[in-house]
Amino acid sequence: MTDPQIAVFMLGIFILVIMLGFPIAFTLVAMGLGFGYYAYYDPERMRSLFDNRIFDLLVNQTYSVMANDVLTAVPLFLFMGYIVERANIVDRLFFSLQIAARRVPGSMAVAALATCALFATATGIIGAVVTLMGLLAFPAMLKARYDTSFSAGVICAGGCLGILIPPSIMLIVYAATSNVSVVRLYAGAILPGFMLAGLYMIYVVGRAALNPKLAPKPRQEDVGDMTIFQTFVMLATSFFPLAFLILAVLGAILFGLATPSEAASMGALGGLVLAVGYRALTWDRLKESVYLTVRTSAMVCWLFVGSWTFSSVFSYLGGHDLIRETVLAMQLSPVMFLILAQLIIFMLGWPLEWSEIIIIFVPIFLPMLPDFGVDPLFFGILVALNLQTSFLTPPMAMAAYYLKGVAPPHVHLIDIFKGVLPFLSMVFLAMALLYTFPEIALWLPTLVYGR
């Protein structure tokens, strides 16, 4: 076998192994070391079995990850999300938004989507958002006689918005992988993110207006006889503090007042202040938030170490060149290349999490972007939109499984899948709009930062 063929064999073995359930980060490290030992084997310079350059490469890659300034923002944003999640802000937020939107068709679903969008923006942790909203909003919607599948689709779709809407952890990871500015990525993701959230809300209001049985109007005893002033007070104590924190963090990044890491530090401190203000900060909650932050951050960092080692060996063996030459030989137009790349990422979303896709597989496409004249920022926003589908597409829709884990026993997985499918079509519509009008992603970064 030639070296490029061995590289493709290496990639195929990796996909097979992770589908068997092996830990991805350590599988990457092990396969990078194993195939790298062969790739860098040089008996003339090796004084012992362990005198192989692959070990130097692993150490250097580990140091590079630890010294990466962009990745410093990851644990800080994660800590902000975990501490906000445990501060009991979300239940107040959902109830106040539900009251404020009570005259809108499907008001509880609209409130759930708005809460998911804001909470997902604050955390970026899909499993946490879907699980918490599944415990909070889903039973309330079922009690209000909402259709089971309709309610499940709202929770699953809304919970995934944190992948796209800044300050998204996924965009930070993509920035570290592609060398695209995090600031420009955040600016580019704002309009597509709110476009998708808007499409979800338009669908919900439209379905509820056409078929009121799906989402009955709230009964008077459920919402009470509240004045406009009382409603505003509820919003002022739940929605506005969290919204202000998120806007302050994003504004500091977008207007150049702080680096992403500095803004993330401000967000983490703001999350602590909110928790104290709501009298929800206990030692156990703080300790749990720190533990979850460290665990998730370690997973992301080891994924980077493993993937960069794996990718270096894969490239050294000629794997990247082989794939690039194969794709170029197909003589695809830029649009067809984008469709092919997004189709592959869509299919990878069934067995893999977004982190593995961004860190391992997206770098395969990045070197080909200049050949097709594709802006890497635009490509990253498309990928972020596409990755919504990885959590919503049966049979591997992780958002559905998160919800099933906390749903009442009478709610079946097939009911959740049925509710998710219409929202999946909204994602495809958003992708089509972005393909047709790239300015949706490129206009704001160009306006604020120039080309």
Q: Which residues lie below 8 Å from residue 446, measured CB to CB, with a gap of 6+?
A: none
Cα–Cα distance measured from residue 314 to residue 39, given in angstroms and rounded to the nearest whole number: 9
Q: Are 313 and 54 in contact (CB under 8 A)?
A: yes
Alpha helices in 179-282 (DSSP H): 182-210, 220-223, 228-254, 260-277
Angle between helices 319-329 and 283-316 (to 10 degrees): 70
Cis geometry, peptide bond prior to residue 167 (ω within 30 degrees of 0): yes
Say if residue 259 is exposed, middle or buried (CB neighbours under 10 Å; 0-12, 13-18, 19+): middle
pLDDT confidence of residue 227: 62
CB neighbour class for 16 (10 Å; exposed up to 12, middle 13-18, buried from 19): exposed
pLDDT by position in tens, the chain (length 451): 788 888 888 888 887 887 777 777 788 888 888 888 888 887 777 666 677 778 888 888 788 877 777 778 888 888 887 887 777 777 777 877 877 777 889 888 998 898 888 877 766 667 777 887 888 888 888 888 899 999 999 999 998 887 888 877 788 888 888 888 888 998 999 899 989 999 999 999 999 999 988 888 876 555 555 666 668 777 777 677 877 888 888 888 888 888 888 888 888 898 888 888 888 888 888 898 899 888 888 877 887 788 788 888 888 888 878 888 888 888 888 889 998 888 888 887 776 767 778 877 888 888 889 989 999 999 999 998 988 887 788 767 778 888 888 888 888 989 999 999 999 999 999 999 998 999 999 999 998 887 6
Retrieve residue 167's tokens. 């300050």
Collapse the DSSP code of 217 into the 3-class scheme (helix H, G, I; strand E, B; otherwise coil) and give the result: coil
Cα gap 433→279, rounded to integer Å: 44
Q: Encode pLDDT of 383-395 as tens digits.
A: 989 888 877 887 6
Amino acid identity for residue 187 in this structure: A
Structure-block tokens of residue 399: 């958002």
Q: Given this model, what pLDDT does residue 207 score?
A: 93
Which is nearest to 353 in space by CA: 197, 166, 160, 220? 160
Residue 42, pLDDT score: 76
> For residue 220, what pLDDT is reported?
57
pLDDT at position 143 = 87
Please tell me the pTM assigned to this model. Answer: 0.80
pLDDT for the residue numbered 25: 79
Residues 5-16 pLDDT 10s: 888 888 888 878
Structure tokens belonging to residue 436:
């047709």
- Using alpha carbons only, what angle is made at residue 212 by residues 206 and 217, rounded to the nearest 5 degrees? 105
